[in-house]
Amino acid sequence: MRTLTVNTSNQCYPIHIGRGTYQMLPRLMKEVGVEKDRKLMVITDSSVAPLYGQSLQASLRAEGYQVGMTVFPAGEESKNLSVVERVIGDCLQFGLDRSSVVLALGGGVVGDLAGFVAATYMRGIPFIQLPTTLLAHDSSVGGKVGVNHALGKNYIGAFHQPLMVVFDVDVLRSLPARQVHSGLAEVAKHALIWDVSFVEWLEAHAEELLALSPERLTEAIFRGCEVKSAVVSQDEKELGIRSILNYGHTIGHALEAVSGYRVYTHGEAVAIGMAGASRLSARLLGAPGELVDRTEQLLRRLRLPIRYAENWPLPALLEAMKKDKKARGGQYTFVLSRKLGQVETVRGIEEAEIVQTLKEISTQ
């Protein structure tokens, strides 16, 4: 098991990554002050509950904990306030009080929703993230929790840091291949924005990662979390540097929005977005051609798309990019890169430059 610590202004919390870590939960919970007299509530979704939820609940009960569990239908459509209200109802019925602890067992949807429940239930109770997708190595660290509104994704939310994050890499074995690839996009993003040696490591170990080698997955998640936690520690509330985590996301979010969130996984959209961002970086910041080539090669090796084939209307894509939460004052804002492993936020980009870039990453 590998462990790192996230430092925020008023809290430090550990991230544990490895094999068989759920068996160590009683000891790990004790280390963060959660004794057996505190009630636990597992919040999970309908795919994860039969795979890992029931066994987790049973093993914690066998250890003497009082553990409830509430399950909502798997999928992004569940990430809304009515599911939050239902889950809160289950928490009340189980008798959770201010000293109780939520266990968020699942992918990013569960982490975001259960974290939001924990942030708001009785004005906030502690929660532990038990991420079960590769993508959730990203979403479980940093304290952003929330749900969607009919008018947009993640419009309702809070900052609520977990008490700890425990990642069991063995659970990734049941993940559909497409979800593995999607998670690898965020791993690649963490390397591309921060650490050229991590890029080299990914280039060298792509095949083993795709084959779900537990040692390589542990290392990749550890290094990805290291980057995320370094960024988040410097800027917990996204007032500055944290926005670099949006590398590839301006185009990525736009592709997701125009396609009604049904065509690409989040990671696929971000991969196409990173290919676009690297090309825009070459165009605007004079980044070397090597940046584009290595970015695109790495993404391809991780079985990710770098082009979109659909004929999405340009005005809709541009509008979505302007509406992106991170765009301020209707200007186009991108995270761009001068060289591998280093990025910066660039505002006020000309529309013509973006249109040209979109042409380059479209196969139409």
Give the residue ranges of the annotated binding site.
108-112, 132-133, 144, 153, 186, 249, 266
Does the annotation count 249 as an active-site position? yes
What part of residues 210-229 is at the interface with ligand NAD (CB under 6 A)? none
Among 242, 243, 307, 258, smallest CA distance to 279 is for 307
Q: CA-CA distance, 206 to 201, in Å (whole number)?
A: 8
Q: Out of 4, 32, 51, 318, name the contact with ligand NAD by CB under 6 A.
A: 51
Which of 74, 196, 212, 318 is the binder for ligand NAD (CB under 6 A)? 74
Length of the chain: 364
- Per DSSP, 141 falls in state S
51/56 Cα distance (integer angstroms): 9
Q: Confirm if 169 and 17 have CB atoms less than 8 A apart.
A: yes
Q: How far apart are CA 226 and CA 237, in angstroms?
A: 18
333 binds ligand NAD (CB under 6 A): no
> What is the token pair recorded at 284?
């605007």
Residue 160 a catalytic site member: no
In the complex, least distance from residue 222 CB atom to ligand NAD, rounded to whole angstroms: 18
Task: Single out the segment in contact with ligand NAD by CB under 6 A; choices: 73-81, 213-221, 279-287, 309-317.
Answer: 73-81
Does 8 sit near ligand NAD (CB under 6 A)?
no
Q: Quick one: 203 or 235, whose CB is closer to ligand NAD?
A: 235
Q: Is 174 in the site for ligand NAD (CB under 6 A)?
A: yes
Q: Which residue's beta carbon is nearest to the bound ligand NAD?
A: 108
Question: Which residue among the candidates 16, 144, 181, 223 is catalytic per the annotation?
Answer: 144
Q: Which of 228, 256, 268, 279 is flagged as catalytic?
A: 228
Q: Which of 8, 100, 179, 295 binds ligand NAD (CB under 6 A)?
A: 179
Judged by CB under 6 A, which of 6, 128, 136, 358 binds ligand NAD? 136
- Told to check if 110 binds ligand NAD by CB under 6 A, we report yes
List residues bridging with 13 in a β-sheet.
6
Whether 154 sits among the annotated catalytic residues: the reply is: no
* Amino acid sitting at position 131: P
Indicate if the alpha-carbon torsion angle 82, 159, 67, 132 is positive or negative.
Answer: positive
Does 108 participate in binding ligand NAD (rule CB under 6 A)? yes
* In contact, 277 and 269? CB cutoff 8 Å: no
Look at residue 64 and give its three-state secondary structure: coil
What CA–CA distance (Å, rounded) separates 352 from 202? 34
Does 186 participate in catalysis according to the annotation? yes
139 binds ligand NAD (CB under 6 A): yes
DSSP 8-class letter at 16: E
Q: Is 339 a catalytic residue?
A: no
Name the residue type at position 291.
Answer: L
Confirm if 259 and 310 have CB atoms less than 8 A apart. Answer: yes
Examine residue 81 and tell whether it contacts ligand NAD (CB under 6 A). no
Is 323 part of the annotated catalytic residue set? no
Radius of gyration in angstroms for the set of CA atoms belonging to the chain, rounded to a whole number = 20
Residue 205 is a catalytic residue: no
Selected catalytic residue, list 76, 200, 203, 238: 238
Cα–Cα distance between 358 and 13 in angstroms, integer?
40
Among 57, 100, 133, 161, contact with ligand NAD (rule: CB under 6 A): 133
Query: Could you tell me which stretch among 174-182, 300-308, 326-334, 346-354 binds ligand NAD (CB under 6 A)?
Result: 174-182
Q: Residue 104 is encoded by which pair of tokens?
A: 């968020």
Residues 19-48 that bind ligand NAD (CB under 6 A): 45, 47-48
Element (H or E) spanning 197, and its range? helix 196-210
Q: Is the dihedral of CA 343, 347, 353, 358 positive or negative?
A: positive
39 is an active site residue: no
Which tokens is 237 given?
Answer: 């509330």
Q: Which residues are annotated as catalytic?
A: 123, 144, 186, 228, 238, 242, 246, 249, 253, 266
Q: Which residues bind ligand NAD (CB under 6 A)?
A: 45, 47-48, 51, 74-76, 79, 106-110, 112, 132-133, 135-136, 138-139, 142, 144, 154, 171, 174-175, 179, 182, 266
